[in-house]
Amino acid sequence: MSAAVNEPTLSPQTVAELHAIAARYPEPRSGLLPMLHLVQSVAGRITPEGIETCAEILGISTADVSGVATFYTMYKRKPVGDYLVGVCTNTLCAVMGGDAIFERLKDHLDIGNDETTADGAVTLEHVECNAACDYAPVMMVNWEFMDNMTPSSAVELVDDLRAGKEVTSTRGPRICTWREAERVLAGFPDGRVDEGPGAGHASLVGLALAREHGWTAPDPGSRESTGRTKDRPGGSGGSADTKQEAAAQADTSRAETETRQEEGKNE
């Protein structure tokens, strides 16, 4: 017989922290998302114990908690390795090399999608759009960006992670373990918030052009912003010119219709 799997248990400190998260919100159940991240930071995944504990603290059913935990892809029902490596395989990243990167990593790590290496270091998954198309193809390690990747740089990345080398995100801090990252998402800072740039050059090109040409956003009350003229009382009606143009278009349309009907009678 195989030995029973020992489920990680939530310590009294973790339970107290779950209560503290719930207390941050006027409506306690609003704290469910960070509470689930805290469970993952301790248990390595969403466990039945974690679901039951969250439900008890929030005064909701385990079905409510399970519904959230199974809806969002950031919550895992299987153990995750020290480094969750996600490869974007959505359209732009795919055509720029994302599919090739994913296939190369599967061969190199000898695992498939949503699987973990034997040493427990890397969990590999393909993800749907990291919202960083200006840096395609993009990968993420424990939710931190790795930009402009290639199959060879992706292999070097996972090898460095497995070897325990320090790796820094392209636009963020030094990479921590997945459980440490989950604790940050639960609302417990790790002091790395100011490490690395918040945005890269490609993301700021539009802002630079706007400043260079003196472009600004339309005034909220202007016609360009609202699609309406300022002289419309109560938000209805329109200017005289606008009304005349609409009337002329209506007359033309009626005339064309009457002409087609008359031609039909004469055929």
Ramachandran sector of residue 260 (left: φ over 0; alpha: ψ -120 to 50; beta: rest): alpha
3-state secondary structure of 161: helix
The pair of three-digit structure tokens given for residue 65, joined into one six-digit string: 């908690």
What is 12-71's CATH topology?
Arc Repressor Mutant, subunit A (1.10.10)
At 100-145, the pLDDT tens digits run 999 999 999 999 999 999 999 999 999 988 888 999 999 999 999 9
Q: Is CATH 3.30.750.24 what the domain over 83-185 is classified as, yes or no?
A: no
- CATH topology agreement for domains 12-71 and 83-185: no
Structure pTM? 0.75
Domain ranges of the chain: 12-71, 83-185, 233-266
At 162-189, the pLDDT tens digits run 999 999 999 889 999 999 999 999 999 9
20 has pLDDT over 60: yes
Ramachandran sector of residue 134 (left: φ over 0; alpha: ψ -120 to 50; beta: rest): alpha
Question: Rounded CA gap, 130 and 85, in Å?
Answer: 12
Percent of the chain with pLDDT over 70: 80
- Write out the H or E segment, with its range, that includes residue 92: helix 91-93
